[in-house]
Amino acid sequence: MINVIFVFLLVDSQVPIKNGRSRASLLDKNVDDIIVNECNVTPTKPPDRYNIGILIFCILGTCLLLPWYFFITANDYWMYKLRTLPENNQIHLFMLNNNEDRSKLQTNFTCLLTIAASIPSTLTLLLNTHLAKKSSIQFRMISSLISMIILFTITTVLVNVDTDSWQILFFLITLGSVIFLNIGSSIMQGAVFNLVSFFDSSYMTATICGQALGGIVTAISQILALWWGASSVHSAFIYFLFANILILISLVLYTVLVKMNIYKYYVEDVPASIRARSSTQYTLIDSNQIVAVDNYVVLKKIWKLGFSLFYNYVVTMSIYPAVTVLITSVNIEHTAWTDIYFIPVINYLLFNICDFLGRILSNFLKLPLNSIWPSVILSTLRTAFIPLLMLCNANPRYYLPTLINNDRIYAIIMSLFGFTNGIVNNITIASIPHFVNKHEQEVASSLMITFLSFGISSGTLISFGMVNLL
């Protein structure tokens, strides 16, 4: 859900051009055109055999949001670890509910987890430009992957440790791990998209598709872990072990990528005077002439688009997953479906599949060019999902009644919730070139990531209140 934030790289708001050249004629060139026409060098592009390079970027994209996906979908495990214990003395915030099903610690865990994940991640993303100037892509990639492996290993080890006697400490350690995992993940995201910007557009597409598939892969792995394991603890062990393996595979594949000819062609063999200042294109930077871009002028062009993206995430993050993870089946019979698979399938797998389909199918929508109102209207209409999902069978609840007592209706609501989230994400991002000039797209992207970051942070903060309004 939050995966599109990483497509936008924070870049400087000045675009250099060569003396005597028109802005459009230079910025519209791809890397091969620039090498041939400006340097009189004919590039010999090596083949990407079996599309291994594209596959590697797809797997790296899948790995980008693993901390977020794996932690929010391991619901049964967290509920077991944070269950109500006899004579459990907890601080006021985590005092037990009168409700016998869930403790206050269980009820608030998901929204606190979301806050711990999104706010450090957002701040790190906003600092990515500074990090890019201070350290190389290779250092950021390797260090972030290694740190993620270490933190996930600690999480995996704690699965089989009896933490009942220090439940609050375990809770705090978990939130601390989430904070540092998402910081490492955000650093990796900046490095991956800095790297893929040197390649042609097919590699960027593979990375974005990998991000979108990450949620689906995570949900399926959780379901398989639940099916295979004898208990939530054993299932979680398999689940987090899979995360460690996938991160390790990503580290190995990155070391393979840097030795491939396709990497040397795009990253190492390009003359030093030709470097990518754009997220997708190379432009010459050997000129002293600078074309300044007025941020305020660009903001006036895209503020409605930015509001659509901002508000879309406010709606999504204010209710998902903090409230939706509390929604259980209305079927009073205790079956494997109601007790084990209902939340993973409906809350995670169904939402992520519909979100992915929304992103894909929105490419086929024939919207009027330069029309911003479809995204604004759809983003605003999504507000209706907040009361709809709040009135589903979420427990514990003390103030609001349960008015939607049908699992099929809840599944339909979740499907539309995910589908519209994907549509708004895609059409707002794809519309940027229609509202700004070519040389303004970098600034527009930076402004859009600001809208998106504040949307995620605002939504996660609101989610804490939403849970306590039930």
Confidence band of 92 (pLDDT split at 50, 70, 90): very low
3-class SS at 16? strand
Domain spans, the chain: 1-15+289-470, 44-268
Mean pLDDT confidence for 384-391: 96
- If we measure between CA atoms, which residue out of 347, 218, 192, 367 comes closest to residue 279? 192
Q: Which of 20-29, 189-198, 332-341 has the lowest average pLDDT?
A: 20-29
Q: Which of 220-224, 225-229, 267-271, 430-434 has the lowest average pLDDT?
A: 267-271
pTM, entire model? 0.72
Residue 395 phi/psi, 5-degree rounding, is -135, 145
Q: Which of 32-46, 70-84, 115-129 has the lowest average pLDDT?
A: 32-46
* Six token digits for residue 431: 């519309």
**Domain spanning 1-15+289-470: CATH 1.20.950:** no
3-class SS at 394? strand
Let me know if the fold of 1-15+289-470 is the same as that of 44-268. yes
**pLDDT at residue 243, rounded to an integer:** 85
Amino acid at 325: V
Q: How far apart are CA 456 and CA 124, in angstroms?
A: 14
Q: What is the pLDDT of residues 157-209, one digit of tens each?
A: 999 899 888 888 999 999 999 999 989 988 888 788 778 777 876 787 678 77
Angle subtended by helix axes 232-257 and 52-64, to nearest 10: 140
Kindly calculate the radius of gyration of the chain based on its CA atoms and give it in whole angstroms: 23
The answer to whether 61 and 189 have CB atoms below 8 angstroms apart is no
CATH code for the part of the protein at 44-268: 1.20.1250.20
Distances (CA, A) of 124 to 251, 299, 383, 449: 21, 23, 29, 12
